[in-house]
Amino acid sequence: MRVAVVGRARSLYRFRGCLLHEMVKEGHQVRVFASDLTDAIFESLEGLGVEVDSYPVSQTGLNPIADIRTYYSLKKSLSQYQPDLLFSYNLKPVIYSSLAGKSIQGLESWSLITGLGHVFADSNLKVRALRAVVTPLLRSALSVNKGQFYQNPDDVRDLAGFGISDVNKATLVAGSGVDLDIFDRRPLPVDKVAFLFSGRFLKVKGIHQLVAAFKQVRQQCPNAVLRLAGRVDDNPTSLSKLDVLQLVEQGIIENLGWLEDIRPALEMSSVIVLPSSYREGTPRSILEAMAMGRAVITTDLPGCRETVVDGENGLFVPADDVEALTEAMLTLARDPGLVARMGEASYQLAKRKFDVHKVNDVMLRTMGLRA
């Protein structure tokens, strides 16, 4: 079968690489259409045995001129390739590739919904206006899909509630999965409890609450460590470079910067912390930490809640609640035995539920790409 896969270059390799490789192993001809393509990612994708093409996309908000350009670029490229099956993920690729593929006779299109994000969660005037534009576009795109994959049940329910999707087309999968051969279980550090945050330094990721909570933790557990692996963002709610520098100089955090390979940081850490107030799909950073046997502190929100059995492999905290986050971190900082037990439970849950090969098998069989 001739398969087209549309997404962003970095995530096509990092998050979908195993899926692409398995498509090729099943004997399918696969061409990826990647935005923001670099020479290094081009070579990495080709190494998976897929053909590589590119398309333009604006990553920030709705830009009518740029979005029309995206649509027509994908329509032209897909028409030239004439795929039998189209698989897309992330909001803009799903919308514009699904609509662009409508004119291809016999094309089956499938979408992976990796989270609804701020467009369907925030209530401020600007976001409501954006949602009013996105809703009919997404409804039209999903209506031409043969089916969609969702990473958490809340997104299935809420998109159906908005009248955007049909629950009869929905298949639930356990996130993007995690490769247990790459992210393998590692011993915990023995000298201290080390907390790790991995992601962009944004308010919606809970970074401000995390820093405030850890300042209180350090007063009672001075040996505890908080490491940040990520980057400052252009978003006005992000920590600034000066903020990060001052926190490092004050000895409150260790800043690891943006890491291409998060495994060494996870190996140095005991607990992954993601106090997000944002609608995640299923956070990849948590899945990777679970596979390496780390306890989890996160919020009981769509996506995040799929990764934790509260009290077994981690702890839930309410979003935007510094005191609750402080208490959760203190609970683990004071009890290394609990951290170890939760870390083992995380590993077992990752192996049972989030193994990337199990996740991919569900998608491949559902799309008819594996017998």
DSSP string, 149-168: EESSHHHHHHHHHTT---GG
What's the pLDDT at 135? 92
* pLDDT value of residue 235: 74
Q: How far apart are CA 22 and CA 360, in angstroms?
A: 8
The answer as to whether 185 is a domain residue is no
Examine the domain organization and report whether 50 and 145 are in the same domain: yes
**What per-residue confidence (pLDDT) applies to 191?**
85
For residues 173 and 198, state if they share a domain. no
Whether residue 13 sits in one domain with residue 135? yes
Residue with tokens 């539920």: 353
Residue 250 lies in a domain: yes
Within 10 Å of residue 250's Cβ, how many Cβ atoms?
Answer: 9
Q: Is the dihedral of CA 285, 291, 296, 301 positive or negative?
A: positive
The answer to whether residues 25 and 140 belong to one domain is: yes
- Give the pLDDT of residue 226: 98
Q: Confirm if 211 and 247 have CB atoms less than 8 A apart.
A: yes
pLDDT of residue 278: 84
Dist. CA 300–CA 284, nearest whole Å: 16
> pLDDT tens, 330-359?
999 999 999 999 999 999 999 999 999 999
Structure tokens at 296: 């989890």
Q: What is the CATH number of the domain that holds 11?
A: 3.40.50.2000
Considering the domain architecture, whether residues 35 and 160 belong to the same structural domain is answered as yes
pLDDT for 62 equals 73
- This prediction's pTM: 0.92
Mark whether 165 and 209 lie in a shared domain.
Answer: no
Residues 150 and 230 in one domain: no
- Token pair 């089916």: residue: 147
Amino acid code (one letter) for 240:
S
DSSP H helices, 253-313, are 263-267, 284-291
Q: Is residue 50 part of a domain?
A: yes
Query: Does 186 reside within a domain?
Result: no
Q: Report how far residue 48's alpha carbon sits from residue 332's, in angstroms, rounded to the nearest whole number.
A: 41
Task: Tell whether 133 and 237 lie within a shared domain.
Answer: no
Task: Check residue 117 and give its pLDDT.
Answer: 75
**Total domains in the fold of the chain:** 2
**Residue 200 is assigned to a structural domain of this protein:** yes
Query: Does 187 reside within a domain?
Result: no
Instruction: Give the model's pLDDT for residue 127.
Output: 76
Strand ranges across the sheet with 271-274? 254-255, 225-231, 194-200, 271-274, 295-299, 314-317
Residues 138 and 225 in one domain: no
Low-confidence ranges of the chain (pLDDT < 50): none
Do 169 and 267 belong to one domain? no
Is residue 330, in this structure, part of any structural domain at all?
A: yes
Within the chain, strands assigned E span 2-8, 29-35, 51-54, 85-89, 108-113, 147-150, 170-172, 194-200, 225-231, 254-255, 271-274, 295-299, 314-317
Regarding whether 149 and 107 lie in a shared domain, the answer is yes
204 and 144, same structural domain?
no
Whether residue 188 is contained in a domain is answered as no
Residue 65's CB is within 10 A of a number of other CB atoms, namely 8
Q: Which domain does 71 fall in, by range?
A: 2-177+355-366
Can you tell me the distance from the alpha carbon of 362 to that of 174, in angstroms, rounded to the nearest whole number?
Answer: 10
